A and B are shown apart, each in its own frame.
Chain A
Amino acid sequence: DTGVSQNPRHKITKRGQNVTFRCDPISEHNRLYWYRQTLGQGPEFLTYFQNEAQLEKSRLLSDRFSAERPKGSFSTLEIQRTEQGDSAMYLCASSPGGGSYEQYFGPGTRLTVT
């Protein structure tokens, strides 16, 4: 396994701009999760896919956030009209399913909104 990969690793953007992050899960992992983490906090759930189906989305997630996983492989997370409060580490995790519940995280994308 090559592990979960995320791109870009760092993103600096100006308030009001749109940004898109990509996550490539471990191959054959059919479950993919997005989390957000700010300093001093544990990761906070954003959304979850099983194959291409988005099964769960956090109630705290603004409608400026959208995610997709069109072919059940990689996923993208888009934030529209970024705000300074969106500055955080965005983490992607994948899980194999089939009775295994462990989630393995990628390196994350650190977003800074100026």
Chain B
Amino acid sequence: QKEVEQNSGPLSVPEGAIASLNCTYSDRGSQSFFWYRQYSGKSPELIMFIYSNGDKEDGRFTAQLNKASQYVSLLIRDSQPSDSATYLCAVNVGYSTLTFGKGTMLLVSP
């Protein structure tokens, strides 16, 4: 049974701070790791993906992967109120289906 675990939150940070979202996964064969942002009532939006150990940066977002620890994280720098959403972590093997966590709710206060 493949599992992806996330803290449900809410994670509350003030505007301008760094938000750190964490995710662990159970399947050591997982190869691809994704972060989706989901606003209430909307569908998931892909914001970051990472395939190799280390860090990957895109604008204000940094994804970090540690396969040995089966851990992936998402850092959001200079958090904005518009970043308030649920962040879903997902993993897969090759082109297979994604296994999602339940998501972490992020609240950024002005």
Determine whether A8 belongs to the interface, using a CB cutoff of 8 Å to chain B. Answer: no
* B69 contacts A by Cβ under 8 Å: no
- Residue pair A108, B90 in contact (C-beta under 8 Å): no
Would you call B77 an interface residue if the criterion is a C-beta within 8 Å of the partner chain's C-beta atoms?
no
- Distance in angstroms between the alpha carbons of A57 and B40 in the assembled complex: 28
Residue of A nearest to B88 (CB): A42
| A101 proximity list for chain B (CB < 8 A) | 31-32, 49, 51, 92, 94-95
Q: What DSSP secondary structure best describes chain A's contact surface?
A: strand
Q: Give how many B residues have a beta carbon under 8 Å from the other chain's beta carbons.
A: 25
CB-CB < 8 A to A50: which residues of B? 95
Q: Does A65 contact B (CB under 8 A)?
A: no
Please tell me if the beta carbons of A103 and B46 are within 8 angstroms of each other in the complex: yes
* Contact A95–B95 (Cβ < 8 Å): yes
Is A48 a contact of B97 with CB atoms below 8 Å? yes
A104 to chain B, nearest CB (A): 6
Question: How far, in whole Å, are A6 and B78 apart by their CA atoms in the complex?
Answer: 34
Cα distance, A41 to B99, chains bound together (Å): 12
In the bound complex, do residue B95 and residue A42 qualify as a contact, i.e. CB atoms below 8 Å apart? Answer: no
Contact with B along A37-53 (1 / 0, CB 8 A): 00011111100101000
Q: Which residues of A contact B (CB under 8 A)?
A: 31, 33, 35, 40-45, 48, 50, 56, 89, 91, 93, 95, 97, 101-108
Given A45-B97, A48-B96, A105-B43, output 6 extra A-B contacts at Cβ < 8 Å: A31-B95, A35-B97, A42-B101, A42-B103, A101-B49, A105-B46
